[in-house]
Amino acid sequence: MQKIRNIAIIAHVDHGKTTLVDKILHSCSIFRDNESTGELILDNNDLERERGITIVSKNVSVQYKDVKINIIDTPGHADFGGEVERVLKMADGVLILCDAFEGAMPQTRFVTQKALALGLKPIVVVNKVDKENCRPEEVYEQIFELFFNLEATEEQLDFQVIYGSSKQGWMSTDWKTPTENIFPLMDAILENIPPAPIQEGTLQMQITSLDYSSFVGRIAIGRVARGTIKENMPVSLVKRDGKIVKSRIKELYTFEGLGKVKVASVSSGDICAVVGIDGFDIGDTIADFENPEQLEVISIDEPTMNMLFTINNSPFFGKEGKFVTSQRLRERLHKELEKNLALRLVETDSPDSYLVYGRGILHLSVLIETMRREGYEMQVGQPQVIVKIIDGVKCEPIETLIVDVPGEVSGKVIELVTQRKGELLIMEPKGDLQHLEFDIPARGIIGLRNNVLTATAGEAIMAHRFKAYEPWKGPIPGRSNGVLVSMDKGMTTAYAIDKLQDRGRFFIDPGVDIYEGQILGEHIRDNDLVINITKGKQLTNMRASGTDDNTRIAPAIKFSLEECMEYIQADEYIEVTPLSIRLRKIYLTEQERKVKGKSLVNQ
């Protein structure tokens, strides 16, 4: 039997998780000496590289001292908690990575809680000890306290701690004495993480992830919990609801380095990819053909937010996208449900619209961004939090919000958060920053990031995680300003924008095609204003000094997709196409808005 260790890496966004995996891959000589690999090898889709975050968990394996170590890179953001909860089922231990200055952040806490509850053995890595103002000892104490608060067992509290710098490529048991390599960490994994258990008996394997190949279709990935799985073996697929489907395994692969290797059989404890099973979902069990036994179904936290997805019906419909029909939109959302466990889809009264439930703004925006890059056109409505009635009381999701901010602007942040029904729990110094912790309704966080970054000149570091459902906190003020709405279709002119600059800030530049009902900017007052910025200058042959002023236009404000989602109100849509993101009113003409708009706002 090959010796195997299965380990998941947990960390908050930007604490150096994917960089550490790079160093492990290099130090275990997976690549040829002349092979060019680049950085962040595992963040292999464009969105992950652009945002610098891990969105989809991935498996790699390395050989170290004739032991096979399967490494599972997990997302660090709580919005992708659905990814984390299922892949932890494949691990026997976890590597908890913390920044030597920031310490255990909210998302680290979220995933650590799941890992400790599953009884996984932890190793703590305090990373970035080469940074200025780092505080490794304090961070170690903080993590011990975190484990204690999360009700870790005595065995879990007796964890090994390793200090080092992933970027510099060294790890050590003492942060003051750097080493030449990361082998102290690899040795700690072999010593502290229990070997993958070998269980004899009939086959049991839970599908915890999936892959897709254009040649063989969907590929099931999971860890063999009991028995041995073999090529060409007849099996039973036990669905989440207990229904049993007979099937046969065509091909088997195990993970080696960054790729997969075809094998004849896989024994319990190892992670493998299975080809040939149809109609499976994540959480299903591949079991013995004669006597199938189901493994415990993966439980996923409920979504906290929903958004309306609908087809694009603007005047610019179909100009930029390949997939524009409601059938295409429906097929794509159903396909996403297969692998995105934390997502839910609900049909609406309209055949063109669907309510998509997710874990937060980032979770939903990554789905929208992925779809627009694939060539889809659609419109999305304002994100709404999910309200529940618990014991006859109206309840809403409450989040724990953590803000690290320079002391001189902490007052502004507290004011902004308390306006949105936030409650200050902790205020303490952390290095040269002020550390603030709040409980705040999830709907209060929508649109808050922009305001906080503006008030603190971009110096605030914000993070939040779902806490619990609590009684409704009352009304929260929305956007304070109205918008500038186009009254005409055509091309914008610098002349018209210049003349209307005193009415507000514009989101678009001169020379852009617009349509009636499109949102062009933010009004300086709290009401909406209908304007015409397609008007050109009257050309005459009369010229006089002083009348031909040069136009001086302030730069247009450009919103990212998430900022748009946080900005819009109930009577507005975001039009998303492969090339453009536009804001618009649901009802395009002013007359329609007067008649129907009031009912939308009152809802």
What gap in Å lies between CA 221 and CA 59, rounded to an integer? 10
Greatest pairwise CA separation for the chain in angstroms: 96
* DSSP helix/strand/coil, 20: helix
Whether the CB-CB separation of 396 and 442 falls below 8 Å is answered with yes
What gap in Å lies between CA 220 and CA 338, rounded to an integer? 12
Compute the half-sphere exposure of residue 561: CA atoms within 13 Å on the CB side of its CA.
Answer: 24
What residues are designated binding site?
Answer: 14-19, 127-130
What gap in Å lies between CA 370 and CA 52, rounded to an integer? 15
Whether the CB-CB separation of 292 and 238 falls below 8 Å is answered with yes
Within 8 A by CB and 6+ apart from 389, the residues are: 395
Measure the CA angle with vertex 143, ends 141 and 146; round to 5°.
115
Identify which of 73, 8, 78 has the alpha carbon closest to the alpha carbon of residue 42: 73
Other Cβ atoms within 10 Å of 323 Cβ, number: 16
DSSP code, position 80? G
What residues are designated binding site for GTP?
Answer: 14-19, 127-130
Residue with tokens 């993070």: 463
Tell me how far CA of residue 408 lies from CA of 124, 137, 177, 415, 434, in angstroms: 34, 27, 37, 13, 9
What gap in Å lies between CA 444 and CA 400, rounded to an integer? 11
Other Cβ atoms within 10 Å of 355 Cβ, number: 15
What gap in Å lies between CA 422 and CA 440, rounded to an integer? 4
